[in-house]
Amino acid sequence: MARLSRRRFLLSLHVALLLLVPCSCQVGDSCSAARDCGVGLYCGDCAAAGRTRPSCIRDLAIQPTTIVKGLPFNRYSWLVTHNSFSIVGEPSRTGVERVTFYNQEDTVTNQLRNGVRGLMLDMYDFGGDVWLCHSLQGQCYNFTAFEPAIDTLKEVEAFLSENPTEIVTIFIEDYVHAPMRLSKLFTAADLMKYWYPISEMPTSGQEWPTVTDMVAKNHRLLVFTSDASKESSEGIAYQWSYLLENESGDPGIDPSACPNRKESQPLNSRSASLFMQNYFPTIPVESEACKENSVGLPQMVQTCYAAAGNRIPNFIAVNFYMRSDGGGVFDVQDRINGLTLCGCNTIAACQAGAPAGACKNTGAPNRTTSSVNGNVYSGTVEFKTSASRASSTSTWSNLVISLSLALILKPF
């Protein structure tokens, strides 16, 4: 019995040691669990790409301001989630089964932790409060309601509090008619301390302040509304006074054209210095999103870039942002920021203070998993660029394998 117990102990130790060996699977490699994938990746499926089993897929964004610092806000490109609150599997808060479309798969906290910096939120009067609804005809119903808006805004407040150099933008599809209800909502969520005031927003296409100045002033929350009257009544910026925007839904995913939204000025106008590119179909389908984000989005970015007079999208709004056949929207954003900010084919290749085109070789971003209020998220901790780091990783792997083999081969 003692020999059997010892064998079991050593076998368990062997398995534990093998789990410590860094995995080598890269983007597109087959996997069965997250631990099978290399750093910066998770294990997901992409049925629309014709894959027969899950593969390693990228799961987070590189924040461009951590590499190329201190430029005006409108020089960067940011990831936005369409209907950020419309989350698959979100339980009903009204006691009635929900009947609506869904656009995302994880919490707003997870979205922010994974690098999303823009949230599209549909706000309605409902039950004497402001609720997030995915509804119709400007009316929220108990079968289209998700949650009180303050719950999501508190997630934003927690993120901004924990990350004092990050900037978040909220786009409100606004069906709130009760006077001053929105301004009271943001006050109750303790977000006014981060508020970017309208009085300092540039007009007529002028450049925005630098991200460094915005952080220094704690102007780290930009809020835009679709209701023009809120600008004078509640101090909330009317979206199309400051942004250009292409058509949403199916017209926004046709690679043959990139029409402007009817509320927006033409995309090649210089009346605003921010450009929002919508890229999501009218009817969201999870299984199709990986193909949309991997194949259609890169094509559409090119089409809209030309339609906007060679202007990059400052915001890219998508459904199911993590779904792709490999890099998806994260790679698209990296390429845009790299080419725009330093002349490299990815933001990870940019070097602070170096001349344009002076690019470095980079590895994949490392991935760490943590938890905030029970929500699991992933985040970038560093880049694998050092030969010495690669060497030490290899040495550690060899040591683990050697020790493991020694334990297994040791006679009982």
Residue 12 is assigned to a structural domain of this protein: no
User: 17: closest CA among 368, 367, 409, 397?
Assistant: 397
More confident residue, 176 or 36: 176
Q: How far apart are CA 323 and CA 332, in angstroms?
A: 13
Residue 363: the pLDDT is 56
Q: What is the pTM of this model?
A: 0.83
* Domain count for the chain: 1
Whether residue 112 is contained in a domain is answered as: yes
pLDDT tens-digit readout, 352-372: 888 888 999 875 443 333 333
The phi-psi region of residue 371 (left if phi > 0; otherwise alpha if psi is between -120 and 50; otherwise beta) is beta
Euclidean distance between CA atoms 17 and 12, whole angstroms: 9
How far apart are alpha carbons 239 and 303 in whole angstroms? 23
Catalogue the E-assigned strands of 110-239: 118-126, 129-133, 145-148, 168-175, 221-225, 237-238
pLDDT level of residue 18 (50, 70, 90 thresholds): very low
pLDDT top residue among 1 and 86: 86
Domain assignment present for residue 17? The answer is: no
Residue 11 lies in a domain: no
pLDDT, residue 38, reads 77
**46/111 Cα distance (integer angstroms):** 20
Whole-angstrom distance, CA of residue 258 vs CA of residue 307: 6
The predicted-structure confidence for 118-166, as pLDDT tens digits, reads as follows: 999 999 999 999 999 999 999 999 999 999 999 999 999 999 999 999 9
- The answer to whether residue 127 is domain-embedded is yes
User: Higher-confidence residue: 15 or 350?
Assistant: 350
CATH code for the domain in which residue 320 is found: 3.20.20.190
Q: Which residues, including other chains, have CB under 8 Å from residue 350's CB and lie 6 or more apart?
A: 67, 68, 338, 341, 342, 344, 359
Which amino acid is located at 113 in the chain?
A: R
Q: Residue 140 domain-assigned? A: yes
Residue 395 within any structural domain of the chain = no
Contact yes or no for 56/41 (Cβ under 8 A): yes
Domain residues for the domain of 314 are 61-385
Residue 182 lies in a domain: yes
